[in-house]
């Protein structure tokens, strides 16, 4: 039987409440839960999600690459007990909001996204960019010591497969529970196979959760 636990740390300084934006009835919230808990993902859905983000790529960085949204990523790197000297994979890296924070703090980094246009607008000099679907990752078992997901759908079995034993999942929602692609820290731990433990904290307008498998 799996049993996971997530300890809440004090909020970082300077947190802000996110504006009401995407509550539990947001269509992407339902997709997020369906993917994480029921494997509700197929080629048709992948194609629709890729088209959606491709259409937003040109303007994405204007709204999503800023210090407030980067705050939970920075705080998670500082207080989440993450392996900075490890190999990192960023899933759903988009136009590089996470990549810009991570690239010079970790041993190595691969930026991975479904939407080719999102990747095309990411800074290619900071990390190799790989276009593909996180439901079937083109990496071997145990390839990374850490996986970052910022406002990204959770594909539990693939995350678990490519993560090396003792590795860390760093989950970030930059608008907290107002993020369209949102799962609370406890639900991330529950959706992943096996037992996990870690920490979570609010920072900026969002939160991070750092989780390590314990079985």
Ligand X SMILES: C[S@@+](CC[C@H](N)C(=O)[O-])C[C@H]1O[C@@H](n2cnc3c(N)ncnc32)[C@H](O)[C@@H]1O
Among 70, 102, 127, 150, binds ligand X (CB under 6 A): 150
Nearer to ligand X, 63 or 215 (CB): 63
Q: What CA dihedral angle connects 156, 159, 163 and 165, to 10 degrees?
A: 0
**Interacting residues of 26 by C-beta distance below 8 A, sequence separation 6+:** 180
Among 92, 176, 198, 204, binds ligand X (CB under 6 A): 92
Among 15, 33, 53, 162, binds ligand X (CB under 6 A): 53
Q: Give the other-Cβ count within 10 Å of 185's Cβ.
A: 23
Whether residue 200 contacts residue 7, with contact meaning beta carbons closer than 8 Å, is answered with yes
Instruction: Give the range of 19-27, 129-137, 192-200, 204-212 binding ligand X by CB under 6 A.
Output: 129-137
CB of 186 to ligand X, least distance (A): 21
Helix (H, G, I), strand (E, B) or coil at 14: coil
CB of 164 to ligand X, least distance (A): 20
CB of 76 to ligand X, least distance (A): 13
DSSP 43-91: HHHHHHHHHHHHHHHHHHHHHH-SHHHHHHHHHHHHHS---TTSEEEEE
Interface ranges with ligand X (CB under 6 A): 46, 49, 53, 64, 91-94, 97-98, 113-115, 118, 133-135, 150-153, 181
């Amino acid at each position: 039987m799996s049993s996971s636990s997530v300890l809440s740390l004090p909020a970082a300084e300077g947190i802000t409440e996110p504006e009401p934006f995407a509550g539990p009835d947001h269509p992407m919230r339902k997709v997020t839960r369906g993917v994480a808990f029921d494997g509700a993902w197929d080629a048709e859905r992948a194609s629709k999600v890729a088209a959606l983000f491709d259409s937003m790529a040109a303007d994405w960085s204007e709204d999503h690459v800023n210090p407030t949204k980067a705050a939970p990523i920075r705080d998670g790197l500082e207080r989440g007990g993450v392996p900075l000297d490890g190999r990192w994979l960023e899933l759903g890296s988009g136009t590089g909001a996470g990549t810009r924070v991570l690239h010079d703090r970790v041993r190595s980094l691969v930026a991975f996204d479904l939407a080719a246009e999102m990747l095309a607008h990411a800074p290619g000099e900071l990390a190799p960019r790989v276009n593909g679907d996180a439901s079937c990752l083109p990496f071997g078992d145990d390839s990374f010591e850490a996986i970052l997901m910022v406002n990204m759908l959770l594909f539990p079995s693939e995350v678990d497969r490519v993560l090396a034993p003792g590795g860390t999942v760093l989950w970030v929602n930059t608008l907290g529970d107002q993020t369209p692609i949102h799962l609370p820290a406890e639900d991330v731990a529950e959706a992943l196979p096996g037992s996990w433990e870690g920490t979570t904290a609010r920072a900026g307008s969002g939160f991070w959760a750092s989780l390590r498998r314990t079985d």
